[in-house]
C-alpha cells in the first residue's frame, strides 16, 4: 500500500516537473508580453486572448509528455497493477490541468484536446513501463 502511494506521488511529481520544464522552454520560444504580471488575473486573461497557436500547442505537448513520463515512473515503481498506478497519475494531472484551465481561460478546442490527451498518455506510459518490466523478467 505504501509503495503504491509513493509510486503515484513520485509519478505526479515527475509529471509536474516535466510539464513545468517544457512550458518554461516554450516560454523562450513564445515569451509572454513584456511586463506581464502573472498575479494580475485580468492581465493574464488579456494575454491569453492573444496567445499564439504555437504556444498553446507547446502547452498541450508539455502536458502529454509530462503525463506520459509521470505515468511511466509510477508504473515502474509499483509492484503490481501498473496500469492503475499510471492512470491514477493521469487523473491527478488532469485534475490539475482542469484547475489551471478554470483559473486561466483557454479556448474551447484546447479544453477538448487537453482532456482527451491526459488518460491515453498515462495509459501508454504505464504500458511502456509494464512491457519493460516484463522484458526484464524474461531476459
Angle (CA) 66 38 113, round 5°? 40
Q: What distance in Å separates the CA atoms of residue 135 and residue 56, rounded to the nearest whole number? A: 37
Cβ partners under 8 Å of residue 86, min gap 6: 11, 71, 72, 74, 75, 122, 123, 125, 126, 127, 129
139 has a pLDDT exceeding 70:
no
Q: Where are the alpha helices (DSSP H) in 30-107?
A: 41-49, 53-77, 82-103
The domain limits of the chain are 2-138
Q: What distance in Å separates the CA atoms of residue 103 and residue 44, rounded to the nearest whole number? A: 10
33 has a pLDDT exceeding 90:
no
40 has a pLDDT exceeding 90:
no
pTM of the model: 0.90
Could you read off the pLDDT of 91-110 as tens digits, one per residue?
Answer: 999 999 999 999 888 999 99
Could you read off the pLDDT of 64-81 as tens digits, one per residue?
Answer: 999 999 999 999 998 778
Structure confidence at residue 101 (pLDDT): 93
22 has a pLDDT exceeding 70:
yes
6 has a pLDDT exceeding 90:
yes
Amino acid at each position: 500500500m505504501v509503495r503504491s502511494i509513493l509510486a503515484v506521488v513520485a509519478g505526479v511529481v515527475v509529471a509536474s516537473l516535466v510539464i513545468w520544464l517544457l512550458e518554461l522552454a516554450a516560454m523562450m520560444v513564445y515569451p509572454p508580453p513584456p511586463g506581464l504580471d502573472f498575479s494580475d488575473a485580468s492581465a493574464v486573461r488579456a494575454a491569453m486572448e492573444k496567445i499564439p497557436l504555437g504556444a498553446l500547442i507547446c502547452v498541450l505537448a508539455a502536458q502529454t509528455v509530462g503525463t506520459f513520463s509521470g505515468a511511466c515512473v509510477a508504473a515502474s515503481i509499483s509492484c503490481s497493477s501498473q496500469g492503475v498506478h499510471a492512470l491514477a497519475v493521469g487523473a491527478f494531472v488532469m485534475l490539475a490541468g482542469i484547475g489551471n484551465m478554470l483559473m486561466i481561460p483557454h479556448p474551447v478546442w484546447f479544453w477538448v484536446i487537453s482532456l482527451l490527451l491526459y488518460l491515453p498518455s498515462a495509459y501508454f506510459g504505464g504500458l511502456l513501463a509494464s512491457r519493460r518490466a516484463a522484458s526484464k523478467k524474461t531476459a
